[in-house]
Amino acid sequence: MDEILEILEKDGRARIEDIAKMTRKKPQDVRKAIEKYKKAGIILKYKAVINKELARDSEARVRALIEVNIIPQKDLGFDKIAERIYSFPEVSSCYLVSGTYDLLLIVEGKDLNTVARFVAEKLAPLENVRGTATHFLLKKYKEDGVILKHKEENKRIAISY
């Protein structure tokens, strides 16, 4: 992966001038490269990783992993039915997977009932959905490579040879 992407993946707010210094490139070249990545759909968006358990005022949300068994459609395979499913705003992630089921969804809702209703009323009745299994997430330890803990104290002594 290009170094610029590597830097941005770790810190989406890295400034162009700093990236330029880190990579020994000209700022305008970095800017151009980033524009190119955006156009090509390689950089999709920048967002903060938030520890929602600590963000007190945000409304609590529940998340569930849902395994979905589907019947693939002729000529269209899984893509068409996947599109029908991932278009629901409740679905925050959708993957086609190998193994005993076909689609893996991450669904978010404001409480257990909302998610349960989404499964019962919207997902399960779909024509090509053969069955679902819902797993509610209880605790989040790590997300996208970030361990969700309070900032760790510095363990190094302040000065050493």
Partner 1 sequence: MKNVVSKKVEEMQPSGIRVFFDLVLGMKDVISLGVGEPDFVTPWQIREAGIFSLEQGFTSYTSNKGLYKLRLGITRYLKNRYGLEYCPDEEILITVGVSEGLDLACRAILNPNDKVLIPLPCYVSYGPMVELAGGIPVYIDIQKCHFKINPSVLEKHIDKDTKAIILNYPSNPLGVSYTKKELEALKKVILKHKLLCITDEVYGDLTYDFEHTPFPTLAGAKPNTVYLNGFSKGYAMTGWRIGYACGPKEVIGAMTKIHQYTIMCVSITSQMAACEAMHSGKKSVEEMKREYKRRREFVVTELNRLGLTCHKPEGAFYAFPSIRATGLSSMDFSQRLLKEEKVAVVPGTAFGKPGEGYIRISYASSIDNLKEALRRIEHFLTIHRRKHGRAR
Cα–Cα distance measured from residue 4 to residue 40, given in angstroms and rounded to the nearest whole number: 15
Neighbours of 74 (CB within 10 A): 5
**How far, CA to CA in Å, does 67 sit from each of 17, 62, 72, 82, 99?**
44, 16, 15, 12, 11
11 vs 143, beta carbon nearer partner 1: 11
49 binds partner 1 (CB under 8 A): no
Q: Is 160 in the site for partner 1 (CB under 8 A)?
A: yes
Beta-carbon neighbour count of residue 86 at 10 Å?
15
Applying CB under 8 A, the span of 5-13, 29-37, 55-63, 128-136 interacting with partner 1 comes to: 5-13
What character string, x for contact with partner 1 (CB under 8 A) and - otherwise, covers 96-135? ----------------------------------------
Does residue 18 bind partner 1 (CB under 8 A)?
yes
